[in-house]
Amino acid sequence: METLYRSGRILTMVDQDDAPDSVLVRDGRIAFVGPLAEARTQAGADVTEVDLAGRTLMPSFIDSHGHLLQHGALSALVDLEHSGSIADIVAAFRTRLAERDPSDRSPLIGAKYDPNLLAEGRHPTRYDLDQVATDLPVFALHRSMHVAVGNSFLVESAGLTAETPDPEGGRFGRGADGTPDGYVEEHPAMAAFAAILSPGGSGGLLPGGASDPARSVRLAVQDYLRHGITTAQEGAADPATVDGLAAAARSGGLGLDVVVYPVVQSETVAYDRYPEFAGDYVGRLRLGGYKMILDGSPQARSAWMSEPYEPVPGDENPGCAYPIHTPAEVEEFTRTVAEQGRQLIVHCNGDAAAELWVSTAERVGAEYPDWLKTRPVMIHAQTVRDDQLERMAPLGMIASIFSVHTWFWGDVHLRNFGPVRGRRVSPARSALDRGVRVTLHQDSPVTPPDMLLSIWAAVNRVSRTGRPVGLEERISTWEALRAVTAEAAYQYGEEHDKGSLRAGMRADLVILSGDPLTTAPQDLRDLEVLATIKDGELVYEA
């Protein structure tokens, strides 16, 4: 099977000045890139020619960090993303409850609320959610996935009282008398509700139909392909999640490539449990290494900082937040992964978390220098400092940056961190200038898997209110495009197969409505994905 693409702008992502006339695809691989006349001489008689009609062909997008299964699962939950008040949250839950069979007492779970967008400017409490129901679990998950709120049914079923201590690496919200108010911060605290929300399960927070792996995979894959993504990540998998993805892969249910990273606190024996996925893709799934989470969310003020957050009403003495793991645990996890020679990707939002990861990688990397060749990654790198970036470069540590934060929460970061630290959130320019390789991600389902929005955010750095957020940290459109194609392929060790248009590469392609390199920076998010091609086959068309 051969397809010849012609008559449009072709971005090879090898050199910014490349301007080939055509791309010839044969049996899922790129056979030729260059002049149209030569491509036609190499093509067979049955070649299908695709007239791009001036549109742009380039490598498809590569998701350098996200949660594919969670993205699909959250689509089945009560949608709280557009709630503008706590009353809206209550109404959304009540609507879903009214649609259910009255005998259904299963948990009612909603997702993606953001207190920064609520009229009250605060998280809901157990008492707010009690307006929905008091005889079944009602659970609202924050957009960051790092904090949540449960109703009184959940609080009481979990046995939480004023005497219940905060877990290490987490926190319970409390009233003035110490009584838990339903707010749970970070996964150690959220775990208090897990057994109630998912009885008999793996401890996850998405029970019933919301955690049906096959359905979740199908919904997520459709959305990723619609956005031009053909390689995705499941970036914090427990054993049940890996099992679900493995089942989908064995049944042929994955419509794109998925790289899965089990979290180290769940297991560091995944390669023994799933040997078939330890090498190249099998059924479009492979193990990428392991994931470690060191802190929380900057918009939720739970990212671990070296200097205190700025005081705000209701949080006048904020402190620096806290780590999820102790330094000894981080050292042990890192050493275990290094001994296996596996890649380790580490969630670091605060600069204190970044310091712990960099210093640990320096020590362990000195003992296991070959481990550094696995390309360790700092996920998010939201407030990483210049001195830390300078130490990351010689380690070969990649900064996978959550650039779209400047759009969704730029105003919040300026408030939480003040003008100096706030403007440096997602410091892609500083990273590149210090020789650190940069990729961009959306952390879906935290934000949509929309690469064009991430590119726009990295190039423009403007908040929802139109406020500039550290314009000195802007990167060029070319650099942003590289970050979601060639550099993302490098992060996965797949740069010889993906991320650029060269003979022999996999034919993972996307057709855009216009040329990003000639589009005005402010208009980049208006470009559209018109078609997505995976291994030479059309898998999405607008």
Q: Is residue 462 part of a domain?
A: yes
pLDDT greater than 90 at residue 214: no
- Does residue 341 carry a pLDDT above 90? yes
Average pLDDT (332-354) is: 98
The predicted pLDDT at position 199 comes to 60
Mean pLDDT of 497-520: 98
User: What letter represents residue 326's amino acid?
Assistant: T
When pLDDT is cut at 50, 70 and 90, the band that residue 53 belongs to is very high
pLDDT greater than 60 at residue 29: yes
Work out the pLDDT band at 198, boundaries 50, 70, 90.
confident
Read off the CATH number of the domain in which 113 is found: 3.10.310.70
% of the chain surpassing 70 pLDDT? 98
Does 339 map to a domain? yes
Same domain, 202 and 336: no
Same domain, 198 and 320: no
Q: Are 339 and 310 in contact (CB under 8 A)?
A: no
Same domain, 346 and 442: yes
Let me know if residue 200 belongs to a domain. yes
pLDDT at 537 over 50: yes
Q: Tell me whether residue 238 is in a domain.
A: no
pLDDT tens string 432-478: 999 999 999 999 999 999 999 999 999 999 999 999 999 999 999 99
Are 189 and 297 within one domain? no
pLDDT digits (tens, 9 = 90+) for 374-413: 999 999 999 999 999 999 999 999 999 999 999 999 999 9
pLDDT of residue 207: 40
Do the domain assignments include residue 283?
A: no
**Would you tell me how many other CB atoms lie within 10 Å of the CB of residue 463?**
19
pLDDT at 534 over 60: yes
Helix, strand or coil, per DSSP, at residue 237: strand
Residues 295 and 391 in one domain: yes
**For the residues of 377-436, what is the DSSP string, one character each?**
EEEE-TT--HHHHHHHHHHT-EEEE-TTHHHHSHHHHHHHHHHHHHTTSS-HHHHHHTT-
**Are 450 and 320 in the same domain?**
yes
- Cα separation, 129 vs 184, in Å, equals 14
Q: Are residues 337 and 455 in the same domain?
A: yes
Task: Identify the CATH number of the domain in which residue 324 sits.
Answer: 3.20.20.140
Report yes or no on 254 lying in a domain.
no
Nearest to 450 by CA among 234, 284, 225: 225
* Residue 94 and residue 201 in one domain: yes
How much is the average pLDDT of 198-206? Answer: 52
Residue 202 clears pLDDT 70, i.e. is over it: no
Domain presence at residue 146: yes
Higher local confidence (pLDDT), 9 or 203:
9
Same domain, 328 and 196: no
Among 168, 193, 210, the domain boundary falls at 210
| Residue predicted with more confidence, 315 or 52 | 52
In this predicted structure, the answer to whether residue 200 has a pLDDT above a threshold of 70 is no
Checking if the pLDDT of 210 tops 80, the result is no
Question: Does 326 share its domain with 442?
Answer: yes
Q: How far is CA 176 from the centre of its chain?
A: 36
In a domain, 387, yes or no: yes
Mean local confidence (pLDDT), 131-155: 93
Which one, of 379, 211, 381, lies nearest residue 290 by Cα?
379
pTM (two decimals): 0.89
pLDDT at 316: 84
Encoded tokens for 455: 């590119």
Q: How confident is the model at residue 503 (pLDDT cuts 50, 70, 90)?
A: very high
| Same-domain status, 447 and 350 | yes
pLDDT band at 211 (very low <50, low <70, confident <90, very high): low
Domain that holds residue 112: 77-210
Point out the domain boundary residue: 475, 499, 525.
475
Whether 137 shows a pLDDT value over 50: the answer reads: yes
Q: In the chain, how many domains are there?
A: 2
3-class state of residue 452 by DSSP: helix
Average pLDDT over residues 126-150: 93
Judge whether 248 and 214 are in contact, CB under 8 Å: yes
What integer pLDDT is reported at residue 435 of this predicted model?
A: 98
How do 78-79 and 108-113 pair as beta strands? parallel
Examine the fold and report which residue of 433, 452, 475 is the final residue of a domain before the chain moves on: 475
Mean pLDDT of the chain: 94
Q: Kindly report, residue by residue over 427-442, the tens digit of the pLDDT.
A: 999 999 999 999 999 9
- Band (304; pLDDT cuts 50, 70, 90): very high
Q: Are residues 467 and 346 in the same domain?
A: yes
